[in-house]
Structure formats: structure tokens, C-alpha cells
């Protein structure tokens, strides 16, 4: 009797394996695309394959990558965090204000990240307790956080931070920019969290079927809090790193970065419907996006065109991804 069921089951197992291979292949395809772009840029410009340009690219990509990893946690729960760009801006002003008022670097950095975590908690509160849709909740804080940053600084640019603070973003270890090392410090624990802890499981479970997760005894609310706290906390970290890099605190920093983060995550294979996403995806996605911008700069493409091209490429990449997914289904 059970023999009748066997073919279907073998097919299911094979499909699962195929799916895993596809996930791997997607990343390989993105990697291939990235390498191709690098090759073409190396051949067509003198300035691309220089240490200066590459380390600059790595620094910029690092900021987006950390932001995108945080965003991915939220996207996996079928949510969205539109406020991360604003959080970056606010964090640059907070860390700058604290440092210029004489607080030490560790205290200022810790306090800034704590503010980020608190903002994430507020998102969780709005989404869980007040039952606001994530889009609305974070759209509201997206504008409110900018307002707070402008209020705190009176709309001014805060400069004059200690030299030591700027050093981190400029220095390198063995030729690798410290900022890039920061990505690794974020990505590795993120990977472990997502794939090797029960909290990671719960993020996927909540995104896949919230009711099923709840009835399985998963603490759904805490899981949602976790995702938004991580996202906002990482955004605050990016804010600190950005302040270190540009040497000033400006409330308008990071305008549009939320879209970069979401795009990186989605290009990297995350699904806005939830339960699909990885850590490697947003890493590749952010490097890809940064390369496109960097290459366009080097090729003297009109910056207005750059935006159009970036938008078009996002549509194209995600379309091909959808195509592949539907073929496999």
C-alpha cells in the first residue's frame, strides 16, 4: 500500500534537493554577474581595478550590506522596515552630539546603538501591540526619526569629532578595510542566528504561517520584536560607521538607503511575502548595487541616468528570479 505513495514522495524529496541547489545557483548566478561586471569595468576603465577605488567600493558596500542583513530579518517575517535610512541619519547625529559633548567613544557608540535597539522595540510595539501594518509603522518612524535628528541638531551639521573615531573607517587590516571586517562581524552571527538557532527558525515560521507558528507554541510576538530590534540596531550601527566615515553627523544622511537595503535583500533572493531569505543574499545584493553605482560613476554616466538604470536592473534581476522560481514549481 505504501508503495503507491512512494513515487510522489521521491519526487518531493528530489524537488527539495533541487530547490536547495537553486538557492545555491541563484547566489552563483549573482556572483557570476558580479564578476562579469568587475571584469568589464576593469577592461573599460583605468580607475576601477585600483586599490583606492576597490577599497572605497568595499566601504560603501559594507554599509549597505549591514543594513540589508537587518532588513532581511524583517523581510523573512513578511514585514518591512522603511525606517532604516532615517535611523542611519539619526544615529550619525546622536553619536556626533555625544562625542562632541565629551563622552568617550565606547560610551557614545554603545548609547547610539541602544537608541537603535529602542527604536526597534517601538516598531515591535506598534506592530504587535497596536497592530499597525509594518509598512505604516515604519513609514511613520521614517519621517519622525528624521524630524528628531533635525530637532536635536537644529538642522546643523555636527563636526569636530575626535580623530580616533574617524580612524576605524579609514584603516585596514592586511589591506582589507575595517569596515568590510565589520560586515563579517555582523554576517557570521547573523548566519548562525538565522540557520542554527531556534530564533532563526521562528523568524521563518512566522513569515511562513503565523497562525501555525502561534499554535506550535512559538512566541510570535517576541519573534517580531526580535526582527525589528535587530534591523533598527544594525541601522544604528551603520549610522555610527557612516559618521566615522564622513566625519560629521547630519540628520539627512542615509536618504533612500532603506530602498537600497530592501533592494539588496530582494536581489539576494528574499521574498517580500516572507519565509524566504538568507544572509549571503543581501551581501551579494549590496555589492552588486554598489558596483553598479560605482561603475556608472567611473564611466561618467549621468547621475540621473544612474538612478533609472538601477531601477531597471532591480526589475530585471527580480523578474529573472521569479521566472526561475515559477519554472521550478
**Segment lying near another protein (by CB under 8 A), choices 60-68, 100-108, 203-211, 307-315:** 203-211
Cβ proximity to another protein: between 85 and 200 the closer is 200
Shortest Å distance, C-beta 74 to another protein = 16
Cβ-Cβ contacts under 8 Å for 216 (sequence gap 6 or more): 205
Site string for another protein, 156-195 (x = CB under 8 A): ------------------------------------x--x
What is the distance of C-alpha 329 from the center of its chain?
28
Site string for another protein, 94-113 (x = CB under 8 A): --------------------
Q: Verify binding: residue 225, another protein, rule CB under 8 A.
A: no
Contact 237, 66 (CB under 8 A): yes
Shortest Å distance, C-beta 18 to another protein = 10
- Indicate which single residue of 45, 56, 209, 221 sits in contact with another protein (rule: CB under 8 A): 209
Query: Nearest-5° angle of CA 308, CA 313, CA 314?
Result: 100
Cβ proximity to another protein: between 149 and 277 the closer is 277
Site string for another protein, 283-322 (x = CB under 8 A): ----------------------------------------
Cβ-Cβ contacts under 8 Å for 26 (sequence gap 6 or more): 269, 281, 321, 324
- Indicate which single residue of 136, 212, 308, 323 sits in contact with another protein (rule: CB under 8 A): 212
Distance CA 145, CA 306 (A): 28
- Indicate which single residue of 73, 165, 204, 257 sits in contact with another protein (rule: CB under 8 A): 204
Binders of another protein among residues 256 to 275 (CB under 8 A) are 274-275
Q: Verify binding: residue 1, another protein, rule CB under 8 A.
A: yes
Shortest Å distance, C-beta 273 to another protein = 10
Amino acid at each position: 500500500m505504501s508503495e503507491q505513495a512512494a513515487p510522489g514522495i521521491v519526487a518531493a524529496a528530489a524537488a527539495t534537493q533541487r530547490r536547495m541547489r537553486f538557492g545555491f545557483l541563484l547566489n552563483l548566478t549573482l556572483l557570476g554577474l558580479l564578476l562579469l561586471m568587475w571584469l568589464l569595468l576593469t577592461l573599460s576603465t583605468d580607475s576601477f581595478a585600483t586599490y583606492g577605488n576597490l577599497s572605497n567600493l568595499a566601504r560603501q558596500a559594507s554599509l549597505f550590506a549591514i543594513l540589508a542583513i537587518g532588513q532581511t530579518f524583517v523581510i523573512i517575517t513578511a514585514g518591512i522596515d522603511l525606517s532604516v535610512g532615517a535611523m542611519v541619519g539619526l544615529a550619525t547625529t546622536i553619536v556626533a552630539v555625544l562625542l562632541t559633548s565629551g563622552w568617550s567613544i565606547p560610551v557614545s557608540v554603545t548609547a547610539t546603538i541602544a537608541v537603535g535597539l529602542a527604536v526597534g522595540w517601538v516598531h515591535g510595539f506598534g506592530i504587535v501591540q497596536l497592530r499597525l501594518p509594518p509598512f505604516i509603522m515604519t513609514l511613520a518612524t521614517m519621517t519622525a526619526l528624521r524630524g528628531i535628528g533635525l530637532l536635536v541638531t537644529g538642522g546643523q551639521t555636527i563636526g569636530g569629532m575626535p580623530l580616533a573615531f574617524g580612524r576605524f573607517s579609514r584603516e585596514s587590516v592586511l589591506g582589507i578595510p575595517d569596515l568590510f571586517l565589520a560586515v563579517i562581524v555582523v554576517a557570521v552571527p547573523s548566519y548562525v542566528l538565522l540557520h542554527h538557532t531556534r530564533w532563526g527558525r521562528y523568524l521563518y515560521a512566522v513569515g511562513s504561517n503565523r497562525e501555525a507558528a502561534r499554535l506550535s507554541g512559538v512566541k510570535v510576538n517576541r519573534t517580531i520584536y526580535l526582527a525589528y530590534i535587530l534591523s533598527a540596531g544594525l541601522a544604528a550601527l551603520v549610522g555610527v560607521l557612516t559618521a566615522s566615515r564622513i566625519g560629521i553627523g547630519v540628520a539627512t544622511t542615509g536618504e533612500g538607503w532603506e530602498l537600497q537595503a530592501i533592494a539588496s535583500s530582494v536581489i539576494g533572493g528574499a521574498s517580500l511575502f516572507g519565509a524566504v531569505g538568507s544572509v549571503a543574499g543581501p551581501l551579494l545584493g549590496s555589492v552588486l548595487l554598489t558596483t553598479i553605482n560605482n561603475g556608472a560613476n567611473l564611466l561618467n554616466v549621468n547621475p540621473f541616468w544612474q538612478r533609472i538604470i538601477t531601477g531597471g536592473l532591480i526589475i530585471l534581476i527580480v523578474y529573472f528570479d521569479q521566472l526561475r522560481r515559477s519554472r521550478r514549481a
